[in-house]
Amino acid sequence: MEINLLTKTTPTKGLIFNIQKFSLNDGPGIRTVIFFKGCPLRCKWCSNPESQSRLPEPMFDEKQNAEITVGKYWTVEQLMKIILQDQPFYEESGGGVTFSGGEVLFQAPFAIELAQAVKSAGINLACETEGYASSKVFESFMHYVDFMYYDCKQWDPTKHRKGTGGSNEIIIKNLVTAIKANINVHVRIPVIPGFNYTNDDAQYFGELFQKIGVKEVELLPFHQFGLKKYEDLHREYELKDVTQLQPADLSDYQEILTTAGIKTSINGW
């Protein structure tokens, strides 16, 4: 089901739950990462559960030994002041700004407004997205992005819905749109035991990617880095007893995709 966000009045503020400066892992060069709060999906393995709600929420902070509020409303002007502080580092390193989440497109009007400001300042823009937004929203946003990390979590719509709460049909459709528009897209598969961690899954992903023109894929082994966050949010984590995957555990998965003609790497955390 497509989600029409452009019919909403453009907000004057966006809800952000973290700003990470001097990041080296979210795109090329030195980057400032803006974490948008709110996501339309509920992936059972989500390592940033504090990003899911569209509203500020309480969370226990161990450093302060107290409950804090996760999520703060920012204007584009306020965020640009933070972003521009490190512009010399972006220029020297080939870096820039990365929008992450949550799901950036869940706050599409604000994300587009901020993207316009970033690009007007001559700054490289990357984003991390699952592509779960209406075609109109996705197309309006993607042309501002220089580099896009794009998560594909399941090849099968029914299995995708069971694990995330939503179908993958619009996700695949938007990925095809980005590829046809020659957007620099980096496809990633979070490989999750009990969800998409079988040789058949790898085979069907390979067939899908061949069909739609994906040339390269990065595999993300399942980890438990977000486990403590569920405790701090007083939430139950369904996958707490699932064993983490090591990069070596994905060698067969990688080989199947490679045989299908997809250049495949494995993230080593």
Dihedrals phi, psi of 24, to nearest 5 degrees: -120, 5
Is 6 a domain residue?
no
Is 8 a domain residue?
no
Domain holding 45, by residue range, is: 14-266
- Please count the structural domains in the chain: 1
Q: Residues in the chain, how many?
A: 269
Q: Which residues pair with 191 in a beta bridge?
A: 221
**What is each CA distance from 137 to 80, 220, 245, in whole angstroms?**
22, 27, 35
Tell me which residue has tokens 């045989």. Answer: 259
Mean pLDDT of all residues belonging to the chain: 94
Note the helical H segments in 181-263. Answer: 199-212, 227-232, 251-259
Is 9 a domain residue?
no
Is 20 a domain residue?
yes
| pLDDT means over runs of 10, the chain (269 residues) | 44 90 94 98 95 96 91 97 97 97 96 97 98 97 97 97 96 98 97 97 98 97 94 94 96 98 90
Is 170 a domain residue?
yes
CATH of the domain at 95: 3.20.20.70
Q: What is the pTM of this model?
A: 0.92
The pLDDT, as a whole number, for residue 12 is 72
Is 2 a domain residue?
no
Is 187 a domain residue?
yes
Is 80 a domain residue?
yes
| Torsion (CA) 224, 225, 228, 231 in degrees, nearest 10 | -60
The pLDDT, as a whole number, for residue 63 is 86
The string of pLDDT tens digits covering residues 81-121 is: 999 999 999 999 999 999 999 999 999 999 999 999 999 99
Residue 221: exposure state from Cβ atoms within 10 A (0-12, 13-18, ≥19): buried
Query: In terms of Cα–Cα distance, which of 103, 97, 171, 111 is closest to 140?
Result: 111
Strands 124-129 and 72-74: unpaired
Strands 31-36 and 57-61: unpaired
